Amino acid sequence: MLSVFKKTFIVLLAMALAGGMAVSCSGLIYDDEGDCAVSYRVKFRYDMNMKFADAFAHEVRSVTLYVLDEDGGIVWSKTESGDALTVEGYSMEVDVPAGKYGLLAWCDADEYKSWTFPQAKVRNDLGCALNHKSDADGSAYTDGRIDDLYYGYLAEADFTADEGTVMVTMPLVKNTNNFKVVLQHLSGKPVDKDKFDFFITDDNCKMDWDNNLLPCDNVTYRAWSVSSGSAEVATRSVTEPVEVTEPVEATRATESFGVALAELTTGRLVMGHKPRLHIRNKETGATVLSVPLLDYALLVKGRYNESIPDQEYLDRQDDYNLVFFLDKNENWANSFIYINSWKVVLQNEDL
């Protein structure tokens, strides 16, 4: 049998070992054994859309993350792209000392190299600019497809733990919009797609680190695709005194019309700015229509989304389908239009 002294020694030894193991991750024992480690990771989430569902893995193909100290200095940055981002549960490991940091991210589809992300040392220089061309008069324009662009910011990420995996989630907002513009004759005769220019103008080609627009000249977003096609359109009379938007019902009679379809991509739509959609007749030089995009986009916000602030709605709704009609003289018949399958009867001639 063990003596009382030996029993006491064994108990004390066991307690000491247990205590040492408990604090070993703090460096008091087994400093170079590698038994405990910490991993700081950032997960990205894009649910600022009309479905309120995370679409990050389906849309984003390149992520550039900047880690900021309390003074706004950039202490670490990394870019990851490709198939790794499509893996369920993707997150980026951040290699920084324990502490609290700010996080800023610019992300895109990484296909057309449409955006410039700066090589900066401080947060205030982490803006983003559209890569555009210059016309003979010096005006800025784009005529190709633009990569979808996303932005994210967290004022504070807590990376102070000294063991385990620390995961923070970065919410993203989309900074680009896709427009499909359909032009058709009321008479039903086909529209010559080569007869018209389609373009959007806006002063939104530069964004600051906080995603606010920086002052810049207007940029002209020319259609990157113009094609011919056919459209099924409801044939209900347009003379009814409707003052609000109403959805197109599938049970109504429809007819098929030959149309011109233009596809355009622009930068972020921001309240207080004045983006406009233009259609111009190439043969005569006459403006067929010039309409304020923000007003038209918000026309179909509807009661279902009335609780969403206008800017949030513009950030969530990134895809617009607009149908305009021409009269027999190929002027805009501006009594009504279709926006995202909603028929809108116009009674304000200023729209």
* Residue 112 C-beta-side C-alpha neighbours within 13 Å: 15
CA distances from 25 to 20, 34, 230 (A): 9, 9, 67
pLDDT of residue 341: 81
Task: Using pLDDT thresholds of 50, 70 and 90, give the confidence band for residue 346.
Answer: confident
pLDDT of residue 300: 86
Tokens of 65: 């993350």
Cα separation, 197 vs 206, in Å, equals 25
Tokens of 27: 């460096």
**Cβ neighbours for 90, distance < 8 A, ≥ 6 positions apart:** 43, 44, 56, 57, 84
* Residue among 224, 252, 280 at smallest CA distance from 338: 252
Cα separation, 146 vs 111, in Å, equals 9
**Cβ neighbours for 227, distance < 8 A, ≥ 6 positions apart:** 193, 260, 261
**Cβ neighbours for 349, distance < 8 A, ≥ 6 positions apart:** 334
pLDDT tens for each residue of 306-344:
899 999 999 999 999 999 999 999 999 988 899 988 888
Q: At residue 9, does pLDDT exceed 50? A: no
Q: Are 150 and 167 in contact (CB under 8 A)?
A: no
Q: At residue 202, does pLDDT exceed 50? A: yes
pLDDT tens for each residue of 72-85:
999 999 999 999 99
CA distances from 1 to 7, 9, 12, 110 (A): 10, 14, 18, 74
pLDDT of residue 343: 85
pLDDT of residue 344: 84
pLDDT of residue 342: 83
**246 or 288, which is more confident:** 288
pLDDT of residue 230: 78
* Residue among 309, 183, 167 at smallest CA distance from 257: 183
pLDDT tens for each residue of 160-181:
999 999 999 999 999 999 999 9
Task: Using pLDDT thresholds of 50, 70 and 90, give the confidence band for residue 231.
Answer: low
Which of 231-235, 300-304, 336-340 is predicted with the least confidence, judged by mean pLDDT?
231-235
* Residue among 229, 225, 318, 215 at smallest CA distance from 264: 225
Number of helices followed by number of strands (H, E) in the chain: 4, 23
